[in-house]
Amino acid sequence: MSLLQLQNLTKRFGGLVAVDDVSFEVPQGAIVGLIGPNGAGKTTVFNLITGNYRPDQGDILFEGRSIRKLPTHKIVALGIARTFQTIRLFPKMSVLENVLAGCHCRTHAGAVAAMLRLPFQKREEAAALAEAHAELAFTGIEHYADQVAENLSYGNQRLLEVARALASRPRFIILDEPAGGMNDFETAALIRIIRRIRERGITVLLIEHDMNLVMEACEHLVVLENGANIAEGTPAQIQADERVIEAYLGVEED
Ligand SMILES: Nc1ncnc2c1ncn2[C@@H]1O[C@H](COP(=O)(O)OP(=O)(O)OP(=O)(O)O)[C@@H](O)[C@H]1O
């Protein structure tokens, strides 16, 4: 069974059909790319999955169960994490604190325990700290742990978002333009990180305009145009698809 199934999803904003009867599946353990021109509806699909928007029609199944009506915090609790196209960090907080914010939703100690600093609360804090450091090491930005997040380069801020998403221990991670603003060297490192995320058993769905990343990292691509799913297949199949070349990759001008 696929981990995620989108079934005939439609989302309208007034008269605009941003997502138009879109269906596709993300198999367990896959790295799937969602691509398409600007305004094709990709981020809207992500916002539908994470409960930020509600579909007008269709359904979203995670492990066979409908999540269409769940609030975002319940969707996160099921093991779905995301990063954002526009970076959403706590800019004045340290890099480590930003990752701890991702761990936070899994700590169970209540306010009273926190005030009294009960032993189990201290254990939870120590575990969260160790995990936050581990995710920073995983994404290669551990040496910036004590820096203020806004001082990181754009590329490292994107990696910090990935580290924070991983700190929620997801089974499924969705990355919205993770290579946005990265140079070629940073993008190559990101491709390795994405592969290692999958090796941890985490399924990946990503939106990306960097064709190098998409073709190298993804084994399956879904192409949207004007809100509709116009093609699906392996990177090689998509590169050879006439409709995609016309709609998205563009015809080289003389
Ligand atoms: N909250 C909203 N209210 C009104 N229109 C919206 C809203 N969000 C998205 N849209 C519109 O829906 C369409 C799809 O937008 P979306 O951001 O999903 O595209 P995208 O494929 O992610 O584009 P990009 O690659 O530029 O990020 C666009 O025409 C956009 O203007």
The answer to whether position 85 is within a domain reads no
Helix axes 95-103, 119-138, angle to 10 degrees: 120
Residue 244 confidence class, pLDDT cut points 50, 70, 90: confident
User: Of 166, 196, 213, which one is at a domain's C-terminal end?
Assistant: 166
> Domain check: are 45 and 33 in the same one?
yes
Say yes or no: CB of residue 86 within 6 Å of ligand 1: no
Number of structural domains in the chain: 2
Beta-ladder partners of 94: 148
Say yes or no: CB of residue 42 within 6 Å of ligand 1: yes
pLDDT for 128 = 86
- Identity of the residue numbered 139: T
- What ipTM was estimated for this complex? 0.95
Ligand 1, atom 1, residue with closest C-alpha: 13
> Domain check: are 160 and 194 in the same one?
no
Q: Kindly report the length of the chain.
A: 254
The per-residue pLDDT for range 66-122, each reduced to its tens digit, is 999 999 999 999 999 999 888 888 999 999 999 998 775 555 556 665 666 666 777
Strand order through the sheet with 16-27: 16-27, 2-13, 57-62, 65-66
Q: What is the mean pLDDT of residues 215-227?
A: 95
H runs (alpha helix) in the chain: 42-49, 72-77, 95-103, 111-116, 119-138, 154-166, 184-199, 211-217, 235-239, 242-244
> Domain check: are 7 and 106 in the same one?
no
For a pocket test of ligand 1, which of 12, 34, 44 has the largest count of ligand atoms closer than 8 A to its C-beta?
A: 44
User: Of 120, 147, 166, which one is at a domain's C-terminal end?
Assistant: 166
The per-residue pLDDT for range 156-191, each reduced to its tens digit, is 999 999 999 999 999 999 999 999 989 999 999 999
Index of the ligand 1 atom closest to the CA of residue 44: 18
The per-residue pLDDT for range 26-78, each reduced to its tens digit, is 999 999 999 999 999 999 999 999 999 999 999 999 999 999 999 999 999 99
CA 41 / ligand 1 centre spacing (Å):
5
Index of the ligand 1 atom closest to the CA of residue 227: 14
* DSSP assignment letter at 94: B
pLDDT for 110 = 60
Asked if residue 251 has pLDDT above 60, the reply is: no
